[in-house]
Amino acid sequence: MASGSLATEICGIELAGPVLNGSGTFDALAARRVFGDAVVDEFPFDCYVSKTITMHPRPGNPPYRLWETPSGMINSIGLPGPGLDGFLDRDLAELGMLGVPLIVSVMADQVEDFTVLVERVAARDEVAAIELNVSCPNVHSGLIVGEQPGEAEALVRALRPLTKKPLIVKLTPNVANPDEVAAGAERGGADAVSMINTVKAAAIDPDANRAWLGVGGGGLSGPAVRPIALAQVRAVSAAVDVPVIGMGGITDAESALEFILAGARVVAVGTENFRNPKAGREVTEGLAAALRRRGFDSLAEAQASTLS
């Protein structure tokens, strides 16, 4: 590895640098409509993660969907999207031209639908890997897959034979022991875990004496959750051998480096994209200097280091 290099890999996918986007925090197609081809020419991420794709089109949740919190925000967006057919027919080809590897996030409430999603998405050449969003209840068991080590293991085990492409499990922080869920996903055959998803949260409008968000509650993100994410990344990376994609309130190269040192192989920028459309690029650009200041010759050296 060349001195000062940021090149890395995740599940065998070669990356020019370690910065991804969190699923659902950067709509590359909308951004291209707004900003033009500069989005592609100066794409902010080394790998693009799509918003979560579901079997059928979804309108998303009723307003209000956002609430600002100290150093963060709560959202209850509700996974609006075109559904699998719309995504494959319209969006995927354009996403394939971004010039970086593409990870497609999928979610379903039963293994039968997950099977269709994984098979049809994995069959497309544009797709490098699939991320499983497991924050939804299983309609058969009523249990949220991402909260149960056994459910997570069973789901990944069922999907594993469908494709040789990497399967990444997106972990929820809303459990007592995320390392156990990660271990379940690993036993089932997951190639990586990404974490953290948003932290369950509520927004109260005291003037109206009611919950603010349209569906009552939502998920907290932004720097407010960073310490939680760091603790969980540290615990999970110590418990499993598969690589961790770390995220949760990353705003700059310094906070990205915290995740690398906590045990993440690569990182993702999420909420900061809302404040700064080029945040991912700025994280990458600052990372070499941040590594140098700590005496690391390369990203690989920081990835291999352990906390004292």
Partner 1 sequence: MAADPSRPVRPRAPFGRRLCEVAESRPTGGYRIFTLVDEAGPEPAPGQFYMLASAEGWAGEGGRPYLPRAVSHARFARFPGGPVRLDFLVHDVGPGTARLAGMEPGEECWVAGPFGGRFSLPRSLNPDAFGAILVGGGIGIAPMAVLRRELVDRGIPSRTLLGFRDRAHSGGIDELFGCEETRLAFEDGSSGHEGYVTDLLLQLLEGDDAASAAVYACGPPAMVEAVRKICIERGVPVELALESPMACGYGACFGCAVPKAAGGYLRLCIDGPVVRGDAIASAMAGEPAVG
Binding flag, residue 274, partner 1 (CB under 8 A): yes
Supply 10's token pair.
Answer: 């995740």
Binding flag, residue 73, partner 1 (CB under 8 A): yes
Task: Select from 23, 50, 75, 255 the one that contacts partner 1 (CB under 8 A).
Answer: 75
Binding flag, residue 215, partner 1 (CB under 8 A): no
Q: Considering beta carbons, is residue 4 or 277 the nearer one to partner 1?
A: 277
Nearest to 177 by CA among 235, 249, 261: 235
Print the binding letters for residues 174-213 with partner 1: x by CB under 8 A, - otherwise. --------------------------------------x-
Least distance between partner 1 and beta carbon 72 (Å): 6
Binding flag, residue 70, partner 1 (CB under 8 A): yes
Task: Select from 4, 16, 27, 231 the one that contacts partner 1 (CB under 8 A).
Answer: 27
Supply 166's token pair.
Answer: 């990497």
Binding flag, residue 160, partner 1 (CB under 8 A): no
Binding flag, residue 93, partner 1 (CB under 8 A): no
Least distance between partner 1 and beta carbon 150 (Å): 32
Task: Select from 1, 12, 56, 62 the one that contacts partner 1 (CB under 8 A).
Answer: 62
Active site residue 136: yes
Which residues are catalytic, by number? 136
Positions in the binding site for partner 1 (CB under 8 A): 24-27, 30-31, 33-36, 38-39, 42, 59-73, 75, 77, 80, 212, 222-224, 271, 273-278
